[in-house]
Amino acid sequence: MDNKQPTERNEGEGNRSADHNYRNGIERSKRRGDLEDAAERARKAIDGAEADELNDARRQAANGETIQ
């Protein structure tokens, strides 16, 4: 029997740590002022040559598949 303790606690749905980390990342990006640039790069990628690859990845993630 394996008696190892998990290194991270599973917080389940509504994960507070993930929410905290996400919000901190957004705030850091806002302070650096790079949100507009990131949004423009994302728009170009979605509308450009990467569109098929990005849509495939989105579809796989939505279905719970591992993206390769």
Task: Give the model confidence (pLDDT) of 7-57 as tens digits.
Answer: 567 767 778 888 899 999 989 888 888 788 888 999 999 999 999 999 998
For 54, the domain range is 17-62
- The rounded distance, in Å, linking the Cα atoms of 59 and 46 is 14
Q: Quick check: is 54 in a domain? A: yes
**pTM value > 0.85:** no
Do you know the residue count of the chain?
68
Q: Quick check: is 3 in a domain? A: no
Q: Looking at the 3D structure of the chain, how many domains does it have?
A: 1
Encoded amino acid at 22, one letter: Y
Which of the pair, 19 or 66, is modelled with greater confidence?
A: 19
* DSSP assignment string, 8-45: S----TT-HHHHHHHHHHHHHHHHHT-HHHHHHHHHHH
The pair of structure tokens assigned to 48 is 């450009």
Spatial CB neighbours of 45, under 8 Å, sequence gap ≥ 6? 51, 54
